[in-house]
């Protein structure tokens, strides 16, 4: 295993081998200093001509960002940090001058250029930190769900069904048959509710062939899908998600403090997540000067306005909006008994952007079939899905939550593309 800079204190006065990137170089006649770097910190390597003899001249030619291995004894440096007095060294991989500037804070490289050299961009702590936190986000969601007894598994991503509407899907040539990349695991996770896996979650890829050019849409994104059976209504799900979101945000705020400090961020933890119906949201928006047609979905301006309103008035970063109109929801959402114009559904907003959609699902076969017909959904690809509802399907519901969106909002990133390693949008298939 590599010896990392963060562990150097354990090797004081010991002889070690240390490898890293050349961060900077200073040569003063018969002595040279190279600052070596790895992802955890720095080590000053001191090269002396009287020790290294004829090999010393090689130091001059080492380019910044080359990979170098040094052997020698670790000493404490005056003024803090560690130093290695080099007895021998080798240049493992020579670097050409970098195509983008990564260390000079005065030179801001455009994101689109940085992404072309993502591994270099990820040598910068600011970029790396985003992915450390993203990693933690996934870990904490998973941790919460597993602790609650949920089972994690995976559903097919090359599908015939799962293209709920047939629109917005990527076609796959599957041995001369047409298949699709899954838009979401929706139908499969619902089928599991009729099994012993009645509290289910998965992390996975979603593909949407939408030509969106926004700061919140990708054509390939990563999400968390949760489904649970034996619920009373969609408010049960919201109780669960609310606790989960609080847990994840608290955990990040505590366990990732160093990373958050580096980005200069403070995480607002929800106290009591506001929960309003879409009808109530129309009213608040009206007071804010934004008129929406009765029965319409929220547009992105409305999402922002509501986010701002609840932050300013209640200091709450997350908002639940419930009971969307049937006309705006997919066929499997359950409608309200008292007024079937509306559904038992919800969206979750984090700092004024949708991060999740969920609902109680219709579990009564006849009603579900009627709803599918009403929405003109082709029934043939849904055959096996629908079939499941004939043999004892408990009431159930769940949600899908976009991980990239969540990370974007959590870290106040300008664009969702910053939250993924290599993004896919209508224009970018490479790198």
Note the residues at the interface with ligand ATP (CB under 6 A). 208, 210, 217-218, 221, 223, 354-357, 400-402, 404-405, 416
**Angle made by CA atoms 350, 261, 122, in degrees to the nearest 5:** 85
Number of Cβ atoms within 10 Å of the Cβ of 36: 22
- CB nearer to ligand ATP: give 309 or 324: 324
- CB nearer to Mg ion: give 259 or 357: 357
404 binds, among ligand ATP, Mg ion, none (CB under 5 to 8 A by kind): ligand ATP
Residue nearest ligand ATP by beta-carbon distance? 402
Binding span for Mg ion by CB under 5 A among 104-112, 154-162, 333-341, 351-359: 351-359
Chain CA centroid to CA 292, Å: 31
223 binds, among Mg ion, ligand ATP, none (CB under 5 to 8 A by kind): ligand ATP
Binding mask 307-346 for Mg ion (x = CB under 5 A): ----------------------------------------
Got the DSSP string for 2-32?
A: PPPGGGGGGGBT-EEEEEEEEEEEEEETTEE
Shortest distance, position 356 Cβ to Mg ion, whole Å: 7
The number of C-alpha atoms within 13 Å of 316 and in the hemisphere containing its C-beta is 19
d(CA 344, CA 397): 10
393 binds, among Mg ion, ligand ATP, none (CB under 5 to 8 A by kind): none
Q: Which of 355, 337, 354, 357 is nearest to 345 (CA)?
A: 357
218 binds, among ligand ATP, Mg ion, none (CB under 5 to 8 A by kind): ligand ATP
d(CA 358, CA 333): 9
Six token digits for residue 59:
């130091």
Shortest distance, position 238 Cβ to ligand ATP, whole Å: 14
Shortest distance, position 347 Cβ to ligand ATP, whole Å: 7
Chain CA centroid to CA 104, Å: 28
Interface with Mg ion, residue 357, by CB under 5 A: yes
- Binding residues vs Mg ion (CB under 5 A): 357
């Amino acid at each position: 295993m590599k010896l990392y800079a963060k562990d150097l204190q354990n090797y004081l006065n010991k002889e070690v081998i240390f490898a890293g990137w050349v961060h900077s170089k200073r040569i003063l006649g018969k002595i040279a200093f190279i600052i070596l770097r790895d992802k955890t910190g720095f080590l000053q390597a001191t090269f002396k001509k009287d020790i290294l003899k004829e090999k010393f001249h090689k130091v001059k030619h080492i380019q910044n960002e080359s990979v170098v291995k040094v052997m020698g004894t670790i000493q404490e440096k005056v003024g803090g940090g560690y130093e290695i007095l080099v007895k021998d060294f080798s240049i493992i991989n020579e670097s050409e001058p970098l195509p983008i500037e990564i260390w000079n804070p005065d030179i801001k490289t455009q994101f689109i250029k940085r992404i072309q050299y993502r591994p270099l961009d990820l040598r910068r702590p600011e970029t790396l930190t985003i992915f450390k936190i993203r990693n933690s986000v996934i870990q904490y969601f998973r941790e919460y769900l597993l602790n609650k007894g949920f089972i994690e598994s995976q559903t097919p991503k090359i599908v015939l069904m799962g293209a709920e509407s047939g629109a917005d899907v990527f076609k796959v040539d599957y041995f001369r048959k047409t298949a699709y990349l899954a838009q979401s695991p929706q139908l499969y996770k619902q089928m599991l509710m009729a099994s012993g896996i009645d509290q289910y979650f998965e992390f996975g890829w979603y593909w949407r062939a939408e030509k969106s050019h926004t700061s919140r849409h990708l054509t390939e994104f990563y999400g968390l899908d949760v489904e649970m059976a034996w619920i009373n209504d969609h408010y049960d799900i919201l109780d669960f998600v609310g606790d989960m979101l609080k847990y994840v945000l608290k955990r990040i705020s505590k366990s990732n403090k160093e990373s958050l400090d580096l980005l200069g961020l403070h995480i607002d933890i929800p106290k009591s997540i506001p929960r309003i119906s879409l009808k109530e949201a129309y009213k608040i928006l009206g007071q804010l000067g934004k008129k929406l047609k009765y029965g319409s979905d929220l547009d992105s301006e409305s999402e922002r306005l509501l986010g701002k309103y609840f932050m300013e008035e209640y200091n709450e970063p997350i908002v639940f909006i419930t009971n969307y109109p049937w006309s705006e929801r997919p066929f499997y959402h359950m409608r309200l008994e008292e007024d079937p114009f509306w559904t038992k559904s919800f969206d979750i907003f984090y700092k004024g952007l949708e991060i999740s959609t969920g609902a109680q699902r219709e579990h009564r076969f006849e009603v579900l079939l009627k709803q599918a017909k009403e929405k003109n959904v082709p029934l043939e690809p849904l055959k096996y899905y629908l079939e499941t509802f004939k043999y004892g399907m408990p009431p159930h519901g769940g949600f899908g939550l976009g991980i990239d969106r969540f990370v974007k909002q959590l870290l106040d990133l300008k664009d969702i593309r910053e939250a993924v390693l290599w993004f896919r949008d209508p224009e970018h298939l490479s790198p």
